[in-house]
Structure 1
Amino acid sequence: MDTIPDDTLELILLHLDSQVSLLRAASTCKRWRRVVAGDAFLHRFGSLHKLPTVAGTYNSSFLRVRPRFVEPSPRNTDVDSVHFSLDFLPDNGITLTRWRINDSHRTLLLLEREHCNKGIRDFIVCEPLTRRHQIIPPPAMASPSYIRGQTFLLGGGSDGMSNFRVLCLVHAGGSSHAFVFCTGASCWRAVNISNHERRYEFIGFASGSIYWHGGDRTVLATDQATAQFSSFLLPHVEGWYPFDAISMLKITVAVGSDGQTRIVLGAGTATLKVLVQAAGGEWALEKSIQLTAAMLDPPLLERRWYFVHGVRGVQSTGTVHIRIHTAGGRRKFSIDLETMEVERLPDMDGAYPTKLPWPPSLHAGNYHA
């Protein structure tokens, strides 16, 4: 192999099947590492392959054990799960500690940590591959019950611990308040919310924004790049009653094949109403989808169902997820808004993906053949 010219070696390495294979090749010898580490080569490899690669997922619930890396990506069966362990995270010697992942973004995880015997809750942002972490106290006005399930990593920055932001939405006295924590900051920064005098509930990610529902026809959007909030009113939609407890569970967001956000409502027992934003900024009905016996078994159509709001990076473009409760347990389905195809999914909550860093750090010894 030493007789192969560098340009020929580059062509060979460019056609490796995955990021993991490339990292393994880089560990072969100093010459291969030098070729792989070049900026031009990394740019070409990234253009040819869909990157960054999902290494696997973390399953999370509020338990007294750290979440575990339990499901390697089928494409990367040679990823060593030991490098994704969270055993480096501190518990401060407190045995009654509960952990939960609230969000993941690229190589980072956002965890919530509760010290049960002290009634203290805080957050940890960490990068498992580099075993780096930062502990973040909650906003000063947030009691433990307010912050659960309302914290997210904001996109728009670079990968890694050097540049991250955390968004926390706090509910207090019937109002919602937003705070952002940035890398290196010692405190949270308050962010203005329009129409803040209501409780907003998360309804999904779409097109670079986080969406929330205000309990009526009001929807709140958070631009992840700027951390700015905006709100809008949905039109009256036949069959969807925003003040009804069941209808409040039947609103979610999706990304269309054109890249635009869709608001999807469950109207009645078996109809989906898809809304799209018109050129003038108002939201209007794009189409209705009737759930039929050909899509779901008739007994399932007769039961109550609700949307499952997708974890970032998991839900496919143009799909929504629904969950149906049956006598035999829960069932989860994916519905394609274009083709109307229905797929049965594993009924798991909190499967958070983590990605391998790109460009890779070729000086770290985290990858082994």
Structure 2
Amino acid sequence: MARSTTTLDDIPDTLLKHVLVGLSSPVCIVRAAATCRRWRRIIARSDYTRALRFPPLLDAGHYQAVDLRYAAAPRPCGGKIVYVPSASVDARRLALDFLPGGGSASRSSWKWELVDSEGGLLLLAKTRRRRFPELIVCDPLARRHVVIPPIPDKKYSHCLAVFFWNWNGGPNLSDFTLRCVLHEGIDGAAGGVTTARVYDFKRHYWSHHRKYLDRWFARGGAIDDGDGVHLRGATLHLTGRAACWIFFGNDADADAVLALDMRYPSACKFMLARVPGSLRGGSCGDRSGFRFIDGDNPDDVRLVSVVGGDLKVFLRRDGSGDAWEPEKNLSLRDATSGMPGRKESYFGGAGAAAKIVSAGAGYVVLTPAEETWLFSVELATMEVERKHSRNRYAGEFFPYHPPWPPTLSAHVSYCKRNRKGLCFQICVC
């Protein structure tokens, strides 16, 4: 009796899934998905992506929101949003010329401001005077965007901050969450008392009805007498996000900032957070003087500030309340001595000798107060550098990571083998 030949078709899907999980690189996974329909079906299933213990984080560079207030800094020719690619990425594939509002890359890009990024998505806003901003979420790789409707009955509310808020993994255009903080007046309140409230926008694809569900939800966290926090006509400014906290500087308070505690998914609470004693007495509404960023541990908050000509770094550990630990101190005048383009007049005098342009986990970008001369400080080593890509333009830095698993599109054409039906040619888009 002849022995039957064993083929790949004899391997059950459960075992084949474990084989495909062991692929060593994203390129191998894409090639495997293009091999046949069966492999593509296994890779596209949610249990396959969950089985990947360490999904690869593809570094495709970063976007930068150029701040035009720094007149001497280089300005991009394509708009206020600049894409700085990594060495292996073609910048033309991630251009934002598809955004609404203009027929060319320059027109559409100048109308929008980049406010946040998450994975492969960008959040952009168009500011309108005394009105809720226009918001869109876009996928540069797929060249698609979603228009975010305004919050009902909040057309004339002031938006303090809006950002991605995803607790369930990486977002995509079919499933993402935004969090918005509004600064509002209180009808009938005496003494100019104002309040702040939190709203979440949820977009989800309802497969049963084959339609998208877009809706705003009130998340509470309103400032009222019960919280013990009062705002009397104060002007608030975003001064940074760190861990599950977001901070707002207050022009009316020189000793504290308004903090929003978001450590719990379904609840949030406002409170006043005291700044370190050496920073009190200044203006807590000036975001060029200090920023809150992530610490080394998931729940730690780091505060970087400029006092005179010194860069001071403080650390607040989780659960330590208002206890700030002095961490590091750097004389900017001494640290930048001898660098090309540095003038002797930089970082002198008793006033604010430097400004913080942008800051993130592990770094801060600064410039002298009198003119724009960008440089960055690596907080781990306190080393100063000028040649880093984040110092090319003045503005906030937003990392970009293409979606994982990669998006696969099927290009349908007539069968080339003269058979019935259509051919599905797979490519990475």
- 2:428 partner SS: coil
Structure 2 matches for 1:180-329, cutoff 5 A?
A: 180-183=199-202, 184-186=213-215, 189=218, 191=220, 192-193=222-223, 194=227, 195-197=229-231, 198-215=234-251, 216-219=254-257, 220-223=259-262, 225-226=265-266, 228-234=268-274, 236-238=276-278, 240-244=279-283, 249-259=288-298, 260-277=300-317, 279-291=319-331, 295-297=335-337, 299=344, 300-302=346-348, 304-310=353-359, 315-316=360-361, 319-325=362-368, 329=372
- 2:183 partner SS: strand
CA contact (8 A) 2:409 2:427 kept: no
Displacement of 1:67: 7.0
- 2:367 partner SS: strand
Give the TM-score normalised by the residue count of structure 2. 0.64
- 2:111 partner SS: strand
Q: Which residue of 2 aligns with 1:135?
A: 148
Q: Which residue of 2 aligns with 1:332?
A: 375
Higher mean alpha-carbon deviation, 133-142 vs 206-215, is at 133-142
CA contact (8 A) 1:62 1:100 kept: no
Q: 1:364 to 1:356 in 2, by over 3 A?
A: farther
Gaps in structure 1 of 5+ consecutive residues: none
CA contact (8 A) 1:333 1:343 kept: yes
Equivalent residue letter for 2:135: F
* 1:368 counterpart = 2:397: no
Q: Which residue of 2 aligns with 1:167?
A: 180
Residue identity (%): 19
CA contact (8 A) 1:305 1:322 kept: no
CA distance in structure 2 between the aligned counterparts of 1:78 and 1:347, rounded to whole angstroms: 19
CA distance in structure 2 between the aligned counterparts of 1:328 and 1:264, rounded to whole angstroms: 21
CA contact (8 A) 1:107 1:356 kept: yes
Q: 1:290 to 1:68 in 2, by over 3 A?
A: closer
CA contact (8 A) 1:33 1:362 kept: no
- What value does the CA root-mean-square deviation take over the aligned residues? 4.4
CA contact (8 A) 1:202 1:212 kept: yes
Q: Which residue of 2 aligns with 1:27?
A: 34
Give the TM-score normalised by the residue count of structure 1. 0.73
Displacement of 1:110: 1.9
CA distance in structure 2 between the aligned counterparts of 1:264 and 1:326, rounded to whole angstroms: 16
Equivalent residue letter for 1:98: K
Displacement of 1:88: 6.0
Q: Which residue of 1 aligns with 2:209?
A: none
CA distance in structure 1 between the aligned counterparts of 2:327 and 2:98, rounded to whole angstroms: 49
Higher mean alpha-carbon deviation, 197-206 vs 358-367, is at 358-367
Instruction: Name which one, 1 or 2, has greater alpha-carbon Rg.
Output: 2
CA distance in structure 2 between the aligned counterparts of 1:81 and 1:101, rounded to whole angstroms: 18
CA distance in structure 2 between the aligned counterparts of 1:90 and 1:242, rounded to whole angstroms: 44
Displacement of 1:284: 2.7
2:119 to 106, 113, 119: 106
- 2:336 partner SS: coil
CA contact (8 A) 1:150 1:170 kept: no
CA distance in structure 2 between the aligned counterparts of 1:268 and 1:364, rounded to whole angstroms: 59
CA distance in structure 2 between the aligned counterparts of 1:114 and 1:247, rounded to whole angstroms: 20
